[in-house]
A and B are shown apart, each in its own frame.
Chain A
Amino acid sequence: MTANPTDLALSGLTKSFGGTLAVDNVTLRISAGEMVALLGPSGCGKTTTLRMVAGLVQPTSGDVLIDGYRVTHIPVHRRNIGMLFQNYALFPHLTVAQNVAFGLQMRRVSRAEVASRVTTALRLVQLDPFAERLPSALSGGQQQRVALARAIVIEPSLLLLDEPLGALDKSLREAMQGEIRAIQKRLGITAVMVTHDQEEAMTMADRIVVMRGGVLEQVGTPEEVYSHPANRFVAGFLGASNFLRGSALGREGGEVVMRLDGGGLARVRAGAGPGGPLIAIRPEAVRLQPASAEAPVENGIPGTVEQVRYRGQSTHIHLRLDDGESFLAYLSNGDEAVPRQGFRPGDRMLASWSSASATMIADA
């Protein structure tokens, strides 16, 4: 059971529902064997995009190309697609084995071959002992594994995953993330996943496509998208970020010097981020020390502690800056060098960061 690696391209894909643009001119190329996650808040058009790839929704304009062939007007059942649904969508009146066999029967595969391929697929998801059960006798995680077996047994050109783990609890979800990813890699299937869970997108996908309002906001590897968000939306959607507004004064030795609106200077590596009036700093890159001198410092800003929240691995400290903006610092509880005690609401602190951990981004 191995897939022929297939690439997928979306070209100017647009869908409007009664005048409202759900997906607006999406162009994207997905390489063979790659797993891409469409990530965004609900209503961002990620599901509609996935359904257009599947053929369950007809685009208003634009094209879907699989291996360079235009499939825009080919109906779903001739696209050779494996799809996982959030509610598993197993046929309740068929046994596990019959569910997995369904797609093969539609392809008029011989009885003997159906039996052997079903067994192989069920073995792959470790459910071969459950072949004769009805789906209702299985747990949620097992049901989704049956759905996975059913989707891959037909050797699909594409594997589409529509919030496949949304109905599972956290620990099971993490186990399934690893399992689905391992099988996808092993079979080399090109996969597109829809999720609103940024952690899921980052752990499972080769590349993340962040969407908002039907538009692509950023496309990149999890590291690129996290470390170099294109704009305020992406920085805020993937993890938390602090934003400081400022204006560029000039360049100095490969760094851009910015004057912060709240006072003080900041240095940002030139070319880190798309540029713009905002500096984004991840909370885990922030260091705190008691504020002593009120004199403006570089790469630092004073603030007052508002809340201290112990979160196990880390302690989250919420600061209020003098201009009223909030500023967040995550202090690792495993790092002996970081002082963890002595932060109390009302304390004056200086939050500082290194030039390398700041990114200049657009205010959008």
Chain B
Amino acid sequence: MRGRLSGLGGFVTYTMAVLILLFVLAPLVVVVALSFSEAAFAVFPPVGFTFSWYETVLNDPEFQHSFLVSTLLALAAALTAFALGMPAAYALDRWRVPGGGAIEAMLLSPLILPILITGLALLQFMSMMRMMEASVNLFIGHVLITLPYLIRTITASLKQVDRSLEEAALTLGASPFTVFWRVTVPQILPGIAAGCLFAFMISFDDFPISFWLADVETMPLPIYLHSLMERVFDPSVAATSSLMIVTGVLAVLALEKLVGLRKAMGV
């Protein structure tokens, strides 16, 4: 449906859209506004305007550590989930894998199971196996919960690939491997990018898995934020949150620059 809506239907649609947008954005606006407040406690409305909380946060070695942990963890999880999810999605979509349906359901199950329970189960398993390295445990947990997003987006893109393009490339002398790289991948690239972005954001934002698997030495940002709030509720918490929001926005903008967001989301 292209073009502007008009009349009563248009009015209702636009009003609804604005209300929903307000509903989604208002809390974020409050947080961002608080982060600039000069007051010593996080109270709304903010008082004055200052960047000092950002200064405090950015100079805080604990924040620096957590931000680095979360960024590296999210990047590693997204890339690993891609490396595992790409062949899995391809095989499930293109080949007749015995028990393919069951395998797919299993790979996607972290979407359905309560993540908190998945995390607890992982913790029990890992302590049973005497896996004490938090960074490794976090990495495994985050790959597990981001993998379904990659598989879903890549499978959806693969289903939209025009098979006759691949067949045409084969008749022109391209080996199946070349066909994959030169014909299939360019077509599913937006899907891959969208999947990786989802994976990055899911991992970067994750609380319920990290909650079980993190320790003091490897503390992702959401866990750090939570512990910060337990100690004190000054605008530095809001500044930390704002920095997380900025990271998310930057990731989306990078995706838009690279492949175009509309394409990536299949709009």
Contacts and interface: CB of A to CB of B under 8 A. Distances in A.
Contact of A106 (B167, B176, B178, B187): B178
A150 B164 contact: no
A82 B186 CA distance: 23
B173 interface: yes
Given A89-B162, A91-B183, A76 B178 contact: no
User: Chain A CB within 10 Å — which of B171, B174, B176, B182 has the most?
Assistant: B171
A81 interface: yes
A28 to B, nearest CB: 20
B40 interface: no
A103 B173 contact: yes
Contacts of A86: 164
A89 B173 contact: no
Interface string B157-178: 0000010110111111111101
Q: How many interface residues does chain A have, given as a range?
A: 20 to 34
A103 B172 contact: yes
Given A77-B175, A102-B174, A93 B186 contact: yes
Interface string A92-120: 11000000001100110000000000000
A106 B172 CA distance: 7
B171 A106 contact: no
A154 interface: yes
Contact of B167 (A89, A92, A150): A89
A85 B173 contact: no
Contacts of B171: 54, 56, 76-77, 79, 81-83, 151, 160
A76 B164 contact: no
A262 B213 CA distance: 91
A83 B175 contact: no
Interface string A49-61: 0000011100000
Contacts of B175: 77
Nearest to B176: A77
Given A87-B162, A89-B162, A80 B167 contact: no
A77 B171 CA distance: 5
B162 A150 contact: no
A54 B166 CA distance: 13
A232 B40 CA distance: 95
B193 to A, nearest CB: 14
B167 A154 contact: no
B21 to A, nearest CB: 33
Contact of B174 (A55, A89, A106): A106
B162 A102 contact: no
A269 to B, nearest CB: 46
A90 B168 CA distance: 8
B59 to A, nearest CB: 46
Contacts of B170: 55-56, 75-77
Contact of B168 (A79, A89, A93, A107): A89
A80 B173 CA distance: 7
Interface in A64-89: 75-83, 85-87, 89
A89 B164 contact: yes
Contacts of B186: 91, 93
Given A77-B175, A102-B182, 16 more contacts: A56-B167, A75-B176, A77-B172, A78-B173, A80-B173, A82-B172, A83-B171, A89-B164, A89-B167, A90-B165, A102-B172, A102-B174, A106-B174, A106-B178, A150-B168, A151-B172
11 contacts: A76-B170, A76-B171, A77-B173, A81-B171, A83-B167, A85-B167, A92-B165, A92-B187, A93-B186, A102-B182, A106-B172
Interface of A: 54-56, 75-83, 85-87, 89-93, 102-103, 106-107, 147, 150-151, 154, 160
